[in-house]
Structure formats: structure tokens, C-alpha cells
Structure 1
Amino acid sequence: MYKVIGHPQSRTLRVMWTLEELGAAYTLDPARPGSDAIREVNPTGKIPALIDDGEVLYDSVAICTYLADKHGKLTFTAGTINRARQDSFTQFCVDEMEGALWTAAKNTFIHPEDVRVPTVKEVCRLEFAKALTTLEARLGEGPYVMGQMFTIADIFIGHSFGWAQVAKFTLPESGPLADYLARLRSRSGFLAAMAKLKEVS
């Protein structure tokens, strides 16, 4: 059984969503960043971490990619064109969507107050809006970013949508992206992960 360390109100939710979609059993230690529980396995104190048969993995993208590859689900095979395209959506999410969200977060509550640059958050909102325009253009006929197949790229993007909502970034209320987000949030794996989040919040 897998063990996930990290509070779900973070990128840990991506790992949980992935495991729920895979139907894989896991235990959850809802440790906060910098806590003793996470520092025991990751000296940086960053969450999430995954423990699999005594081996520890860090970084939500690496963890989810590992799980998808290991189980042969939620991903295209490495070395294929479709995998490269899938990975490009993952990288797009990390760079263009999450990059804006993370920079805004660092200048809201993460960095010491005396070094924060609050005005940069408006630039982040602009960058995120631009990313949404690009995502809509790339989405195609769907229903997911890779067409008919739901992949971990959708999990990363779906999580970033949720992060944006918490950060009060503007999200579309109608149109292709709103429909796409609704499809993601209706998946049983997402609903199961959210239920576990509520249990520990």
C-alpha cells in the first residue's frame, strides 16, 4: 500500500486524485509543509511525498508520472508521440498556469512580508488569463486535453483550476473551458479525493 505525506490543501491533492483514478490503496498523513513528519523523509520540508515499498519520491509531477507509468493507466506510453504531446500539456500547466499561481502565492503569504511584491500579482493574473486563452485553443474537441483519454495532464490542469479559484483568479463561467472543468470535477476520482480533503480539513 502506498503512503502519501502532505496535506490535501496543496499539490498533494494531485497525488490523491491520481491514486483514486487508479483505484490504488493508500494511507494519508496530512502533514503540513515544514512539519516533522515531512522532514523525516524530505529535508526540504516540502510536500507531497510518496512512499512506495520503502522508497521515497518527491514532487507531485514526478510522483503522478511514476504512478501512471507503473500502473499503465492515465498516460500514454513513454517514447510515443502521444506521450510527448501529453508531457507538453503537463509542462504547459507547470510553466504557464502554475507558474503564475505560485508567484502570486509567494508574494501573498509565503515570502517574508518585507520582500513581497504585491503588485506582481496583477501581472500573474494577466499571465494566467493568457494561459487560459492558449489552453482553450489547444483543447480541441476534447473531452480531455488528449482527446478521449483522461490523463495525468488533466489532473495537473484541473488542480491548477482549483488553485486559481481559491486565489480568486478569474475562471470562465461558460464556454469550452468551463465545460472541461465541469467534466474534470464530475469524475469519481476527483470527488473521492475531495471527500478525503474534507475529512482532514
Structure 2
Amino acid sequence: MYKVIGSTKSRALRVMWMLEELGQPYEHVACGPRSDEAKKYNPSGKIPALVDGDEILTDSVAIMQYLADKHGKLTAPAGTPARAHQDAMTLWLIDEMDAILWAAAKHSFVFPEEHRVPEIKPSLKAEFARSAKILSDRLDGPFLMGDEISVPDLLATHCINWSIGAGFDRVDDKLGAWAKSMRDRPAFKAAATKEG
């Protein structure tokens, strides 16, 4: 059985959601970043981590893609043009949404106060809004990559949810309705209602 290390209020939720979509059982070890528990699995204290047998994997997106590949679901097959398009979308989301949210978090509560630059946050919010508009314009179907849910859908939805919690401007109605449809999935609800 898999073991997911991290809080549901972190990127660990992405991994838990992936496992729920895949129908795979897992143990959830709720803990915060840099906690003693987190450091047992990742010396840096970053979360999430995934324990699969003797292997400990880190980085939420790497874990999600690993699980998708291992179980042959929520992903295009490796070595296909469809997978290259999917990977391009995943990397774009990491660069243009996730990284912006992480930068805002670092300047809000992660960095020691003397290293925070609060003045950067309005520009980060503007950049996120620009990226959200691009994503909305690219959305042409029930899922980002077409007719089937895949890794980028989980990643994008998590980023949109994170942006709401971080006080960013709301995405447009089209993208907002799509994100709501993703949050309405039973697998998302199952992961989001876990304690921690």
C-alpha cells in the first residue's frame, strides 16, 4: 500500500487525489513541511513524499506522473505525441501557475520575515491572472487534454484552488466552472476530506 506524507492543505492533496482517481488504497500521514515527520521521508522537510515499497519519491508532479505511468491511467502513453503535448501542458502549468503561487507563498509566510518582499505580490497576482486567461482560452473540452482526465487537470485545479486561498483574483467564469466540475469529482472530495 502507498503512503502519502503531507498535509491536505499542501501539494500532498494532488497526490492523494491522483490515488483516489486511480482507485489505489493509501495511508495518509498528515504532517506539515519541515516537521520532524516530514524529514523522516525527505531530509529537506518538503512535502509531499510518497512511499512505494522501499522507494521514497518526492515532488508532487513527479509523483503524480509516476503513478499515472505505473497504473496506465490519467496519462497519454510515454513516447507518443499526445504525451509530449501533455508534458508541455504540465510544464507550462508548473512554470506559469504553480511557480507564481509558490513565490507568493514564500514572500507571505515561508521566508523569514526579513527576506520577504511583500511588494512583489501584486505583480505575481497579475501574472497569474494572465496565465489563467491563457489557460481558459486553451480549454476546449471537458478536460485540458481532450476527452479524458489527465495529470494536468489535477495540477491546474489544485493551482486554481490555491490561488483562491491565497487571495488572488478569481479566474474567469469558464475556467471557474471547469474547476468546480473537477472539485465535484468523487475522487477529489474523498482526498480533500481527509484529516490534516
TM-score exceeds 0.5? yes
Unaligned regions of 5+ residues in structure 2, if any? none
Indicate the residue corresponding to 1:104 in structure 2.
104
Amino acid aligned to 1:91: L
Match for residue 156 of structure 1?
A: 155
Stretch moving more, 17-26 or 179-188:
179-188
Distance across 2 between alignment mates of 1:86 and 1:126: 25
- State the 1:172 CA deviation: 2.9
Instruction: Give me the whole-angstrom Cα distance separating, in 1, the residues matched to 2:6 and 2:151.
Output: 19
Alignment of 1:163-178 (within 5 A): 163-172=162-171, 174=173, 176-178=174-176
Q: d(CA) in 1 for partners of 2:186 and 2:143?
A: 15
- Tell me the equivalent position of 1:120: 120
SS in 2 for 1:3: strand
RMSD: 1.0
Large movers: runs of 4+ above 2 Å: none
Partner of 1:69: 69
Question: Percent of aligned pairs with the same residue?
Answer: 48
Q: Which amino acid aligns with 1:26?
A: Y
State the TM-score, normalizing by the size of structure 2.
0.97
Q: Which residue of 1 aligns with 2:191?
A: 193
Displacement of 1:179 after TM fit? 2.0
Question: In 1, are the aligned partners of 2:129 and 2:171 still within 8 Å (CA)?
Answer: no
Secondary structure of 2:93 counterpart: helix
For structure 1, the residue ranges without an aligned partner over 5 or more in a row are none
Question: How many pairs were matched up?
Answer: 196
TM-score w.r.t. the length of structure 1 is 0.95
2:36 alignment counterpart: 36
Q: Distance in 2 between matches of 1:158 and 1:4?
A: 19
Structure 2 match to 1:45: 45
Deviation track 1:60-91 (CA, whole Å, cap 9, x = no partner) reads: 01100000000000000011111111111111
CA distance, structure 2, for counterparts of residue 102 and residue 78 of structure 1? 28
Separation in 1 of the partners of 2:111 and 2:34? 14
Distance (Å, rounded) in 2 between the aligned partners of 1:75 and 1:172: 26
Tell whether 2:151 aligns with 1:146.
no
Distance 1:115 1:180 in 2: 37
1:145-174 Cα shifts (integer Å, max 9, x gaps): 011110011000000011001001112352
Q: Could you tell me which amino acid in structure 1 is paired with residue 142 of structure 2?
A: P
**Which residue in the other structure is 2:179 paired with?**
181
